[in-house]
Structure 1
Amino acid sequence: MYLSHRTWPELGDYVAEESLAVVPLGSTEQHGPHLPLATDYLIAEALAREATDRTGFLCTPPVRIAVSEHHRQFHGTMWVDPEVFRDYVESFSRNLGYHGIDRIVYVNAHGGNVQHLREVGRRLRHDETAYAVEWMWDESIPDLVSEVFEHNGPHGGPKETAMIMHIAEELVREDRLADARDGGLVDLADADTMRFGSRTFYDSPDNSENGVFGDQTDATPEKGERLFEAASDQLVQLLEWLDDQPFADLMPEPHVDPQPGSRR
């Protein structure tokens, strides 16, 4: 059920029976010379729509601009400050709670959002408004990603390239795949990111001249379909598991008893 395509009485019928919502989140940021800036939110929304179509749960419109300042040197990248992002996500999550939603899955496709979504989830759980968890598609199928690609790359690499080839192939500049590989960083082991135990980088161009990693020429629509189907299956299982949990069991444990079994 896609929230923005429904009427308010239909949403009323939904929350009378269900209390789970799925929120896709991505970014609008550079993904090299071969992929659109929309890459992350296109992947997040496609997976969220697929999983909610299969399960009947509620899917909200996507969050398209997020924490991407570390890509700001590349034309077109848009971002908001981390605290603005956290407050915005928390605000609309509480809005969902007002309408009867008490568990939320943030379907996330942008690494820069992870820690902030975790913080929002902590806030919502702290006052028992909702149980909200962040789900990152590639982290749900790490073995498959490693099996499919020899040189994966965490950003703009073959896994994201293959996913967009499957979801929206017309947006991939296939004539620039070799440029992406040759102008980026193929093997992360070659990145000069640590000095004496300290991470010495902050922004994307500190590590990759064209902003991407891995071997993009290894991507195909067929590989993207494998990743998409496997990740969708994982997300469906997460939604069904979360829906089955009693809300009280999802809330924080009470204060530990310093003297178990004692009488007062």
Structure 2
Amino acid sequence: MYLADEAWPDLEAYFESESLAIVPLGSTEQHGPHLPLATDHAIAEAFATEVSERTGYLRTPTVTVGVSPHHRQFPGTAWVDADVFRDYVESYVRNLTYHGIDRVVFVNAHGGNVQHLREVGRRLRDDDVAYAIEWMWDESIPNLVDEAFEHNGPHAGPKETALIQHLHPDLVHDDRLAEARDGGAPDPEASIRTQNGAATFYDTVENSANGSFGDPTDATAERGAELFDAASEQLEALCEWLAARDWAELRAPERVSRE
């Protein structure tokens, strides 16, 4: 069920019987010369839509701009400051709690959002208003992702390329896959700038000239479909697990006492 497509009487019935919402979030940022800026939020929305349709749980509109200042050197990248993002998402969830939602799954596809969504989740639980947890598709199936590609990458690499080839093939510049590999960081571990155990970079362009990491020429739509189905199963199971929890299980633990 997609919130924005429904009339309010039908949503009223949902809120009377259910208390979980799926909130997709991503970014609008460069993903190498071969993928669209929409990559992250398109992936998040696809997973949220698929699992909402499988389970009947409510899906909200997608948060399409995230915390992406580290990609700012690439034309078109959009971002908001971290504190603005946190406050916006927290307010968004508090709005949902007004209607009866008390548990949320953040379907997130952008690494730059992770720590901020965790902070929002802590704030909401500490105030005893909602239990919100962050989920990323590739972290739900790490072994499958690792085995799928010889030269993976954390950003604009084969795993994201394969998903977009599956979900939105018309948005992939297949003629630029070799360019993405050769002009980027085909060996991500070797390209990340460090010195004596310290990271010596702040922006993506310092580690990859064209914003791509890994070897996207290894990606196929068929592999993307396999990854999408496997991660969707994980998200479905997570939603069912969270919906079945008693609120007492989700609340913050009491302060520890020696007595």
TM-score normalized by the length of structure 2: 0.99
1:13: how far off? 0.3
Separation in 1, partners of 2:10, 2:190: 54
Structure 1 residues 227-264: Cα deviation after superposition (integer angstroms, max 9, x where no partner)? 100000000000000011001110011111222xxxxx
Deviation at 1:188, TM superposition (A): 1.7
Code of the residue aligned with 1:170 in structure 2: it is D
Structure-2 residue corresponding to 1:88: 88
Residue identity in the other structure for 1:56 = G
Instruction: Report how far residue 194 of structure 1 moved.
Output: 1.6
Structure 1 residue 134: Cα displacement: 0.3
Matches within 5 A, 1:132-147: 132-147=132-147
3-state SS of the aligned residue for 2:168? helix
For the residues of structure 2 that align with 1:192 and 1:110, how far apart are their CA atoms?
Answer: 18
The superposition leaves residues 150-173 of structure 1 with CA deviations (integer Å, 9 ceiling, x where unpaired) of 111000000000000000100000
Match of 1:100 in 2: 100
- Report the Cα distance in structure 1 between the residues aligned to 2:37 and 2:194, rounded to whole angstroms: 28
In structure 2, the residue matched to 1:198 is 198
In 1: Cα distance, 2:96 partner to 2:226 partner:
33
Task: Give the Cα–Cα distance (whole angstroms) in 1 for the partners of residues 180 and 153 of structure 2.
Answer: 12
Structure 1 pair 129/37, CA: closer, same or farther in 2 (3 Å)?
A: same
Structure whose alpha-carbon radius of gyration is higher: 1
Amino acid at match of 1:160: E
1:212 and 1:202 map into 2 onto residues whose CA distance is 16
Cα distance in 2, alignment partners of residues 122 and 108 from structure 1: 16
Q: 1:124/1:178 Cα in 2 relative to 1: closer, same or farther (>3 Å)?
A: same
Q: 1:127 and 1:80 mapped to 2: Cα distance?
A: 25
Q: For 1:104, what is the secondary structure of its paired residue?
A: strand
Post-superposition shift, 1:33? Answer: 0.6
In structure 2, how many angstroms separate the alpha carbons of the residues matched to 1:138 and 1:83? 26
2:21 pairs with 1:5: no
Q: C-alpha distance in 2, partners of 1:192/1:177? A: 21
Unpaired segments ≥5 residues, structure 1: 260-264
**Separation in 1, partners of 2:129, 2:9:** 23
Distance 2:104 2:188 in 1: 34
Percent identity at matched positions?
64
AA matched with 1:161: T
TM-score, normalising length from structure 1?
0.97
Counterpart of 2:113?
A: 113
Q: Distance in 2 between matches of 1:232 and 1:38?
A: 20
How many angstroms does 1:193 deviate by? 2.0
Tell me the distance in 1 between the aligned counterparts of 2:189 and 2:15. 49
Residue correspondence of structure 1 range 224-239 to structure 2 within 5 A: 224-239=224-239
TM superposition shift of 1:190: 1.5
Residue 186 of structure 1: aligned partner? 186
Corresponding residue of 2:218: 218
Q: CA deviation at 1:197?
A: 1.2
For the pair 1:71 / 2:71, whether they are aligned, the reply is yes
The Cα shift of 1:145 comes to 0.5
Counting matched residue pairs gives: 259
User: What is the match of residue 20 of structure 2?
Assistant: 20
How far does residue 189 in structure 1 lie from its aligned partner after superposition?
2.6
| Large movers: runs of 4+ above 2 Å | none
